Structure 1
Amino acid sequence: MDALDLNPDGYGGTYKLVGGRPSLDFVNTISWPDTEREHDWLALPENARRWFAAMELPFPRGKTVDVAPLYKARQLLTRVLRPLAHEQTVPEAALAELSKAVAKAYQSRAIDPRTLAWRWPEPSTAQDALTPLLLDAAELVTAADHERLRYCPSCDWLFQDQTRNGQRRWCDMADCGSRDKARRYYHRTKA
């Protein structure tokens, strides 16, 4: 899994697409959430543009884009998806807010006459660009196997376990998996 070309802005880590779903990778744009190591990969507006391009999602073309809606949507998706991954109850207020946002997102799509697939108009704002992410999150909440929605015990990133045996434990074996195995080995041999 290769690191995405995002500007770390002085941060020592890298960002990888490990979630398996756009909405999960969007939540994961906060590294080490709720710790002193926390880093927001979308703090630089250019990183938002690069992230959407890597996800093959449309993003507004203007040079200056107000990215505040991205932060608000990410907070909402975090309040819904993180509890699901941790096998906790999702707050009703967060579900109601997601439901309202999804209803609005559905109104902006249309059937493409050439492909007969859903398409969204070219986004003119960051809020418009969120439509595919909101719909992906709604599908994850309503139709996906929640048993396969997991979190990394090392960094708390979210992912959908798509392995055949359903035994994926870390966001990325090369990073958190190796670190966790080394830590456990150290504690075993120290005693």
Structure 2
Amino acid sequence: MTVSWTPHRFTGGMLALDTANTVVLRNDPEKIFDRFEDPAEIARFAEAASSFRAAELGGRRLEAPVPEKIAPMVLSIRETTDRLFRRAVSKGAIATGDMPEFLEACADGLAQSRTEIGAPGKPFGDAATPVAFEVALAISALSLLRDDTIARLRICPNCSWLFVDRSRNSSRLWCDMAVCGNRQKANRHYRRRTAAREVINV
């Protein structure tokens, strides 16, 4: 099934989190599904991410990847990132036991590239040339280790996506108020009306 890579799919706040969130409803074994089940979606996601994550990437475009070639690296970075930071949100700290696998996955993503990154003010390198998707994904994932970022990581109580809370008072609850927030409001309204009807019918 072709995915529509809309702005809602990029509400994680960082490329690595948006990628982790391509597995939907991780908290529900009966409803969980993987938007990268078709490897072709990795290329389509990367194309959309070039626009939706332009600020994070410093304007550097993502190369059009060959999905079959990079899929194992992308999935490895995605899963180790989700595991490490989901546990960090739940426990309030990074589990050192999860670090080696995460760092190895990121290293694999970086190993195939000969690009230069990390110039002052340009963590993703020169905006004039494209960067491989797996390289950008690894850089984004590693940047999540900053203390100020870890402290702002959240898990959406509706869809279970990871996101960075950049609100002024760190009070953001939903990954996307227009989607998950409104769904929860609608659910609460429905439950209140149902409870009121039950009281009346007693």
Fold-level similarity (TM above 0.5): yes
Q: Do structure 1's residue 159 and structure 2's residue 166 form an aligned pair?
A: no
Task: Give the structure-1-normalised TM-score.
Answer: 0.75
For residues 120-145 of structure 1, give each alpha carbon's deviation from its aligned partner in whole angstroms, at most 9, with x where no partner exists: 9867xxxx632222221221113433
Once the two structures are superposed, the pairs formed by residues 32-71 of structure 1 within 5 Å of their partners are 32-35=25-28, 36-56=30-50, 58-62=62-66, 64-65=68-69, 67-71=71-75
Q: TM-score, normalised by structure 2?
A: 0.71
Change beyond 3 A, Cα 1:100–1:46: closer
Residue identity matched to 1:187: R
Q: Structure 1's 144 and 135: CA in aligned 2 closer, same or farther, altered over 3 A?
A: farther
Q: 2:66 & 2:149 partners in 1: Cα distance?
A: 38
- 3-state DSSP of counterpart to 1:97: helix
**Runs of 4+ with deviation above 3 angstroms:** 59-66, 87-91, 100-104, 106-109, 119-123
Structure 1: runs of 5 or more not aligned? 1-5
Please, which of 81, 91, 96 is the counterpart of residue 92 of structure 1?
Answer: 96
Report the alpha carbon displacement of residue 62 of structure 1 after superposing the two structures with TM. 4.5
Deviations 1:104-156 (A, max 9, x none): 6388442599x987259867xxxx63222222122111343323211110110
After superposition, the Cα gap between the structure-2 partners of 1:180 and 1:63, relative to the gap in structure 1 and judged at 3 Å, is closer
Higher relative helix content: 2
Matched, 1:31 2:31: no
**Bigger-Rg structure (1/2):** 2
Q: Identity, % of aligned pairs?
A: 27
Bigger mean CA offset, 101-110 vs 45-54:
101-110
Q: Is the contact between residue 80 and residue 105 of structure 2 (CA under 8 Å) also seen in structure 1? A: no
Residue 7 (1) aligns with residue 2 (2): yes
Task: Give CA-to-partner distance per residue, 1:45-71, whole Å, 9 cap, x none.
Answer: 221101111111524555854522222
Q: Is the 8 A contact 2:70 2:134 kept in 1?
A: no
Q: 2:73·2:105 contact (CA, 8 Å) conserved in 1?
A: no
Aligned length: 177
